Amino acid sequence: MPKYDFSTVVSSTTATTILKTATFESWVGREYVSPPEDHGIYQLIGRVTAEWARLEHALDRIIWTLAGLLYQEGGCITSQLMGATSRYRVIIAQLSLRATHDAAFTTFVERVDKLMRQSYDPQEERNRIIHDTWYLDAEKKTPGQFRSWPHKDPQFGVHQVDSEKIEKTIEAATNLALAAENILQQITLLAQRPKA
């Protein structure tokens, strides 16, 4: 995976323009400015977003398959769900219902529940990466995020973010998406088999 040099800001002309036009904020005697639009941090944020969307799309497809809906029809329902956890819960309910008529679906209930539990920490990391405001230290040009007492790691102010931690979140999201896609494939085969 590529490493990103967060200390590199765009050309000095662009950086000067940004420093002149951006609103500075100050915490603990330091000044911060929004990163320029072509800063490498945005590529990482985009990758986190894309991989998490891939996971949620795989979960949507499981819901549509278990409901026996055309994907376009199913999308009317799943587009109203917020986040991965609500999708996992729908799938577990659908699998539990199916299992009352076909024991072959029983094994998937525990697999999906386990996948849901494995998603909690990466989901929190994803939320912090995407929803907390990004800044550059105006002097050092290093990125950080403003934290306003997140419940799992209560802190306040701008804190530096390690790019390796973001890469681990991307990797976790990718692995979760692959696991969900594997479950989708198996459930699709099971749902399509001829009834005895």
* Angle, vertex CA 92, rays to CA 90 and CA 95, nearest 5: 110
- DSSP helix, strand, coil percent of the chain (3-state; round to 5): 65, 10, 25
pTM of the model: 0.82
- Compute CA distances 112 → 21, 94, 95, 123, 182, whole Å: 49, 11, 9, 16, 11
pLDDT at 25: 56
The answer to whether position 82 is within a domain reads yes
Task: In whole angstroms, give the CA distance from residue 186 to residue 192.
Answer: 10
pLDDT at 196: 60
The answer to whether position 140 is within a domain reads yes
The answer to whether position 132 is within a domain reads yes
**156-193 confidence digits (pLDDT tens):** 888 888 889 999 999 999 999 999 999 999 999 998 87
Pairing of strands 30-33, 134-137: antiparallel
Instruction: Show the low-confidence residues of the chain (pLDDT under 50).
Output: 1-24
The answer to whether position 6 is within a domain reads no
| Structure letter (DSSP) for residue 10 | S
The answer to whether position 29 is within a domain reads no
Burial class (CB in 10 A: 0-12, 13-18, 19+), 21: exposed
The answer to whether position 156 is within a domain reads yes
User: Could you list the residue range(s) of the whole structural domain that residue 93 is in?
Assistant: 12-20+37-192
The answer to whether position 30 is within a domain reads no
Domains contained in the chain, number = 1
The answer to whether position 165 is within a domain reads yes
